[in-house]
Structure 1
Amino acid sequence: MATLVLTAVGSAVGGPVGGAIGALIGQAVDHTVFAPARREGPRLVELAVQTSSYGSQIPKLFGTMRVAGTVIWATDLIESRATSRSGKGQPSVSTYSYAASFAVLLSARAVLGVGRIWAEGKLLRGAAGDFKTATGFRLHLGGEDQAVDPLIASAEGAATPAYRGSAYAVFELLQLADFGNRIPSLTFEVIADDGMVFVSTIARALAAEVSGTTALAVGGFAAAGGSVGAVLAMLGEAGGAWFAPSGAGLVMRDAAAATVVVADEGFAASGKTSARRARAVAAIETVPRTVSVGYYDAARDYQAGVQRARRPGAGLRDVSVEVPAVLEAGAAKTVAEAMLARAEAGRVRRTLAAGFAAMGIAPGDCVEIAGESGVWRVADSSIEGMVTTLGLVPLVPASLPASATSGRVSGAVDAVIGVTILHAFEVAGLEDAGLSAPRMTVVAAGTGAAWRQAALLYSIDEGVSWVAAGATAAPAVLGTIAVVAPGASTTLVDLRGAFEVILAQADMELRDADAAALDRGVNLAVLGDELVQFARAEPLGAARWRLSGLLRGRRGSEAAAGAQAIGDRFVLIEADAARTFDLPVSVLGRTVRVMASGVGDATPVETRCLMTGASVVPPSPVHLVCAGEVDGSATVRWTRRSRAGWRWIDGVDSPLAEEAEAYRVTVAAPGGTRDVDVVVPTVSVTAAERAAGAVVTVRQRGVFGESLAADLIVPA
């Protein structure tokens, strides 16, 4: 009877849709919660897979939900080519990258925003709003005044819809290298409403004729997968609510609804007492042994979770109910236990005879029987003569909150990329062969552990033109100097001095190196402008390290030894973390500007490199000695060095690495200064110059310029 009555009411209120709602409500009134019935409500799996087909349902979102959405527009793959050259005389290398622009429809009602975004299960956008892959991004919230997206309009023309009333996201030139050069499967954390949402609020938004309040609130809900009636029926089942006619509409009620006290007047109304006061109890086997509730668990990045309630006693039947709403584990457990308790209470059915005054009590109302305890829900009612007969089902009080765990949580890592840290410098070539062009070395890392690469540009004409230089190499280990070691000999191991450095990230590490490893060039670092090797790296905590067992002034950088200041750069030189660029000879003596732009950089990061020639000019001569002659003059000798063969593995003279051996020598004395060019490592000082305390300065001449000076004061 209730089915027919409520179907008629629903049709009167809401037309065919209202009729469907009424029919479903009537079925809920006529049967217990777990009576077999065909359900076509939403399912947990429906929001997990991104689609792009016509006719796909777009859910109406409430609270905060993770949904895949539907691709509604996309470009073909966009190919980009970058050409770089590793060195002078080397062939150019072309690299290709691919990107795509597309739009994803998220909700059939307006939303407040989008939080995290997953691509292939990994975070594309973190909780802080940072993207892990380069892309442009716009979110259209779904307002009724929503404007057309400019990118879609530029491609599709004047007929482009604005999708007013629907929320959608637009990605512009999403780089696809991380996703196999295809548009990845995305899921979005959509914030449609602020905070928890009552199921009655959701019901009222879906069907205007529904009103009322219920105790159950959810973190999020997606209304999709079936008719409005099916969605409302599922919400009512989960929350222990039901629908009853109220004026021209329906009201959603639960156990907390107001009650009406009725008296059992069966004796006075008629002599059919046994019929009107019948009480039936179904067998315990009709009640499920277990009830399982599937739900979305926010603690598990909105993955599906299951909570179960069990009862003791006889019975074999298990019931599974999918509640495609966001719940905490404890709340889902509470729902399962409440559903099981309602099923047990539903075994009892009572028929009560009331007087004519009770004819206003309708199915769905709550009543108390005078002189008895407990609250009952009216399942059906009939009027015969002056007697109102009510079919009653007992209500159970709200379940106490249950405790439960979400189980093992293995959510996607939300590592922060941070901004790019960029260093560019010129040092002597790290190979044993001399370089044929000035070389700039570029290293980079990020302030966040997820930083991977940044696009590079450089300019040799103070920004008038820029050269696209591809991307940075692997993240370098770098930081700043916190404690400066005093200057020390560059020919001995410094066992007393120590640097302390602070690395850019806590997870960056340094390691010790034995003598053999040091000989191979391990643990070579730039500190300020000096190249230093260290044998011992001691962690001090908070990304701070103490470096000792120092080899100073490596590869001809002794002039910078001891010239560091606190805050100067520290960069560990590793082949896979450095990009090198061979530049034209014209850059010598000039500054090269270098610019990097990573995913986490709001604006490009820039640094400068002064090209002094350190990579191509000879190192300064060493071992200057003076020998007096019988005529009072003196002969100054020295040992040349080479910018090739730094390891000196064969024990003989290092290769010259220049076109010819040549030196410019300056002899300065109080009586005057003279320059002399020589092609052997020796020069004569006159007796007068020697007597005046002359200073001899020697510079080796190379293909690209002169070395730094080596000085000797000639003893009188």
Structure 2
Amino acid sequence: MATLVLSVVGGIVGGPVGASIGALVGQQIDRNLLFAPKARQGARLTELALQTSSYGTSIAQVFGTMRIGGCVIWSTDLIESRSTSSAGKGQPKVTNYSYAASFAVALSGRPIAGVGRIWADGKLLRGAAGDFKAATGFRLHRGGEDQAVDPLIAAAEGALAPAHRGIAYAVFEHLQLADYGNRIPSLTFEVIADAAPVPVGVIAAAVSDGLVGGTVALSLPGFAAHGDARGVLELLGAASGAWFVPAGRTLVLRDGRAVEATLDDAGCGAGERPGAQAVRAFGALDGVAQTVTVAHYDAARDYQTGLQQARRPGAGQRVARIELPASVSADTAKTIAAAELARGEAGRERRTLALGWAALGVTPGACVAIAGAPGVYRVASWSFEHDVLTLDCVRLAAATAPASASPGRVLPAPDAVAGTTILHAAELPPLDDSLPSAPRLTVAAAGTEAGWRGAALLYSLDDGARWLPAGATTGVATLGVLASVPGIGPRDLIDRINTIEVDLAQEGMSLAGADAAALDAGANIALVGDELLQFGQATQIGARRWRISELLRGRRGTEGAMALQAAGDRFVLLEAATAGVIELPLSSIGATVRLLASGIGDVAGPVAVTATVPGRSLLPLAPVHLALESIGDGDVRLRWVRRSRAGWRWIDGVDAPLGEEREAYRVTLIGGAGRAIETTVPELTVTAADRAAAVALQVRQIGSFGESPAAEIALPAL
């Protein structure tokens, strides 16, 4: 490790003759870097993975790409918002509260290039594509010396707001906290300081303010320098197998790749033989580690902590552990462990050499070869007495072959992009047997990508002059567009002739068939254009394309829309878990409603749609089976069958429930004066006199909130 030179820097750094000059240089390095008070060493891995907010916490310097917890350096109080909703007429109103927070997190004590993914409580808050999974404003300050004060911090703190120059930090503005228990979550950041792996020598130079440099073989894809400089340098030395050597007023790292001198087998330089022979000694095997463990961060596993071990056979029980706050692969960590183990075994062999004047240039830290002895040695200590130079040399391990290792099971956090919102809204008849007392707009939504989870809704009844909150969308609906248009089919029988092809919005969406019992219970009902239909079979014929068949058409009074579909019209599978309802005032009947949906993927702005409110959710259905019967003298009796907006399943088989406060109808004579006649039974006698100028009859049921659409029959001429 770094112990070779640290004990002799003060006296040896200036050379064998200029010890006093070297002492001055050594003292400067001692005070400023290596022998500063040892109050805190380098970071343990757990420290980098946790977000902190304590005053005085040191901020890591990030190199390469690392996952960092950071430190909260500024925050506001929780920001409370509330909204009121009602479950319907006669139901109490409910006040809903939501919370957000604005805060800043310091990421690195040196400038960075950017931030990739962000995790909140272990789940992705920001994906690899830069998309956020929860609503928030976000700004990144990269740590330049000229960076400006963040506008939010400036607005809150005034003229004394710091710019935090030299510190990279992120600002979250109004981060919604509903997904995190209404508290600021524990955040970790994929910090990108440098685009490529960083050599260990470059890291050493940066953390020591240029006092330590050099080149070694090891480069790290990511590293967090945390704690005091001495601890970081010792850790870099341990990981790379390098040691520190004086070089003028600085130290350099060496790793034994270059041999600086070759000594003869007697321990003397060429032509110099003072008579002393080399002394070879071996340390006890149990004095070196039997197992070396390297703890590291594994980028292939979302920077989760990994452990790799190297173990030697033989005596001993010592275990060495290197806590490496670096993102390296499992193979690299295994190679580092094996190399440290090999260095320990090789270092058992030591040679003491007695040399003459010619070898005075061989100083502590030098990498030498000894003629007749295998391997390469590091000069561990140096003494010069009675014209004899004595070197204590330690055997260096041969280069370690790259090892292979398994990183373990990879369980990355899901990273699905939300995409933009797809929104559909329509006023529909109730899909159950309820009788609403106000117009209801059915809303279904999804996203263009699999990560979409919801969007906030606003609606306007006055063409955008005033917008009202409508809560949020309900679930992720299965929806798409028509790829083929069905023909007109029977209303009362299963349509086994026509099929419909549908392109769903995402590949992950699917449809399933339903048997007769499930269809009778209301399964597989879909809005196709403006028609409600059910389907018994669904077959996938492409990545997103499905064919549905065995159709029940014109459900709940929508038979009039069967001939109006076109390619590209909406397809929405209506399910209770994904179809929300907006209750509108009675005055909205006949109006057009504008809706805005805003999800986290709608970066270009809210998605806008319009929907008309003809009263389908409140008004009676048009009567059916109109028939005329002549009763003499030119008079005719008109009969019809009413329909109900309740009791669609016809459980008792006798008569559908009325569904209105009273039974009443209005019959209008088309032609002539257009006389209208009201009746409380589903029939009416039309006299010859009334028929004289009339050409047709229209029948409307009078409901509690208005009249049904008209059913019409032509009158034969008298």
Taking only the aligned residue pairs, the percentage that are identical comes to 58
Query: For each residue in 1:244-290, what CA deviation from the matched residue of structure 2 results, as whole angstroms up to 9, or x when unmatched?
Result: 1112211111122352233456576555423xx11112233333222
Partner of 1:94: 95
The 8 Å contact of residues 255 and 397 in structure 1, kept in 2 or not, is answered as no
Partner of 2:308: 307
Please give the residue correspondences for 1:493-572 in structure 2 after superposition, counting only pairs within 5 Å: 493-572=494-573
Residue 526 and residue 270 in structure 1: after superposition, are their counterparts in 2 closer, same or farther (change >3 A)?
A: same
Distance in 1 (CA, whole Å) between partners of 2:638 and 2:708 is 18
Q: Which of 635, 648, 651 is 2:650 aligned to? A: 648
Partner of 1:33: none
Q: Which stretches in structure 2 are left out of the alignment for 5+ residues?
A: 14-21
Q: Which of 206, 211, 214 is 1:212 aligned to? A: 214
Please give the residue correspondences for 1:269-284 in structure 2 after superposition, counting only pairs within 5 Å: 269=272, 272-274=275-277, 277-284=278-285
Distance in 2 (CA, whole Å) between partners of 1:466 and 1:15 is 73
Please give the residue correspondences for 1:660-671 in structure 2 after superposition, counting only pairs within 5 Å: 660-667=662-669
Residue 466 and residue 319 in structure 1: after superposition, are their counterparts in 2 closer, same or farther (change >3 A)?
A: same
Distance in 2 (CA, whole Å) between partners of 1:353 and 1:613 is 107
Partner of 1:616: 618
Instruction: Name whichever of 135-144 and 449-458 sits farther off.
Output: 449-458
2:493 partner letter: L
Partner of 1:141: 142
Residue 86 and residue 607 in structure 1: after superposition, are their counterparts in 2 closer, same or farther (change >3 A)?
A: farther
Partner of 1:5: 8
Residue 423 and residue 11 in structure 1: after superposition, are their counterparts in 2 closer, same or farther (change >3 A)?
A: farther
Residue 234 and residue 393 in structure 1: after superposition, are their counterparts in 2 closer, same or farther (change >3 A)?
A: same
Residue 352 and residue 621 in structure 1: after superposition, are their counterparts in 2 closer, same or farther (change >3 A)?
A: same
Residue 44 and residue 338 in structure 1: after superposition, are their counterparts in 2 closer, same or farther (change >3 A)?
A: same
Residue 179 and residue 629 in structure 1: after superposition, are their counterparts in 2 closer, same or farther (change >3 A)?
A: same
Residue 113 and residue 301 in structure 1: after superposition, are their counterparts in 2 closer, same or farther (change >3 A)?
A: same
1:6 partner letter: V
Residue 3 and residue 141 in structure 1: after superposition, are their counterparts in 2 closer, same or farther (change >3 A)?
A: closer
Distance in 1 (CA, whole Å) between partners of 2:508 and 2:29 is 59
Query: For each residue in 1:106-151, what CA deviation from the matched residue of structure 2 results, as whole angstroms up to 9, or x when unmatched?
Result: 1111111111111111111111111111111111111101111111
Query: For each residue in 1:361-405, what CA deviation from the matched residue of structure 2 results, as whole angstroms up to 9, or x when unmatched?
Result: 211111223465532221122223443322222223322211111
Partner of 2:61: 60
Distance in 2 (CA, whole Å) between partners of 1:269 and 1:389 is 13
TM-score by length of 1: 0.91
Distance in 1 (CA, whole Å) between partners of 2:662 and 2:226 is 82
Partner of 1:423: 424
Q: Alpha-carbon deviation of 1:597? A: 1.0
1:479 lines up with 2:480 in the alignment: yes
Distance in 2 (CA, whole Å) between partners of 1:443 and 1:183 is 31
Q: Alpha-carbon deviation of 1:639? A: 0.8
Q: Alpha-carbon deviation of 1:624? A: 1.9
Partner of 2:326: 325
Distance in 1 (CA, whole Å) between partners of 2:34 and 2:73 is 35
Distance in 1 (CA, whole Å) between partners of 2:351 and 2:586 is 101
Distance in 2 (CA, whole Å) between partners of 1:258 and 1:675 is 116
Partner of 2:606: 604
* SS in structure 2 of the partner of residue 204 of structure 1: helix
Q: Alpha-carbon deviation of 1:306? A: 0.8
The 8 Å contact of residues 455 and 597 in structure 1, kept in 2 or not, is answered as yes
Distance in 2 (CA, whole Å) between partners of 1:618 and 1:244 is 94
The 8 Å contact of residues 86 and 580 in structure 1, kept in 2 or not, is answered as no
The 8 Å contact of residues 63 and 223 in structure 2, kept in 1 or not, is answered as yes
* SS in structure 2 of the partner of residue 161 of structure 1: coil
1:615 partner letter: S
Partner of 2:683: 682
The 8 Å contact of residues 5 and 246 in structure 2, kept in 1 or not, is answered as no
Please give the residue correspondences for 1:380-395 in structure 2 after superposition, counting only pairs within 5 Å: 380-395=381-396
The 8 Å contact of residues 347 and 397 in structure 2, kept in 1 or not, is answered as no
The 8 Å contact of residues 99 and 174 in structure 1, kept in 2 or not, is answered as yes
Residue 433 and residue 304 in structure 1: after superposition, are their counterparts in 2 closer, same or farther (change >3 A)?
A: closer
Q: Alpha-carbon deviation of 1:590? A: 1.8
1:239 lines up with 2:240 in the alignment: yes
Query: For each residue in 1:346-365, what CA deviation from the matched residue of structure 2 results, as whole angstroms up to 9, or x when unmatched?
Result: 11111223331221221111
Partner of 1:396: 397
Query: For each residue in 1:58-108, what CA deviation from the matched residue of structure 2 results, as whole angstroms up to 9, or x when unmatched?
Result: 111111111111111111111101112343454332111011111111111
Distance in 2 (CA, whole Å) between partners of 1:631 and 1:168 is 95
Please give the residue correspondences for 1:351-370 in structure 2 after superposition, counting only pairs within 5 Å: 351-370=352-371
Partner of 2:79: 78
Please give the residue correspondences for 1:405-484 in structure 2 after superposition, counting only pairs within 5 Å: 405-484=406-485
* Count of residues in correspondence between the two structures: 699
Partner of 1:286: 287
Residue 474 and residue 566 in structure 1: after superposition, are their counterparts in 2 closer, same or farther (change >3 A)?
A: same
Distance in 2 (CA, whole Å) between partners of 1:678 and 1:295 is 86
Distance in 1 (CA, whole Å) between partners of 2:56 and 2:172 is 22
Q: Alpha-carbon deviation of 1:630? A: 4.6
Distance in 2 (CA, whole Å) between partners of 1:287 and 1:253 is 22
Query: For each residue in 1:534-582, what CA deviation from the matched residue of structure 2 results, as whole angstroms up to 9, or x when unmatched?
Result: 2223333423322222111111111001321122111122223222222
Q: Alpha-carbon deviation of 1:201? A: 0.7
The 8 Å contact of residues 12 and 18 in structure 1, kept in 2 or not, is answered as no
Partner of 1:254: 255
The 8 Å contact of residues 345 and 396 in structure 1, kept in 2 or not, is answered as yes
Distance in 1 (CA, whole Å) between partners of 2:355 and 2:512 is 88
Distance in 2 (CA, whole Å) between partners of 1:199 and 1:432 is 73
1:338 lines up with 2:339 in the alignment: yes
Q: Alpha-carbon deviation of 1:690? A: 9.0
Residue 614 and residue 304 in structure 1: after superposition, are their counterparts in 2 closer, same or farther (change >3 A)?
A: same
Distance in 1 (CA, whole Å) between partners of 2:261 and 2:558 is 95
Q: Which stretches in structure 1 are left out of the alignment for 5+ residues?
A: 25-36
Instruction: Name whichever of 383-392 and 600-609 sits farther off.
Output: 383-392
2:652 partner letter: D
Distance in 2 (CA, whole Å) between partners of 1:411 and 1:159 is 42
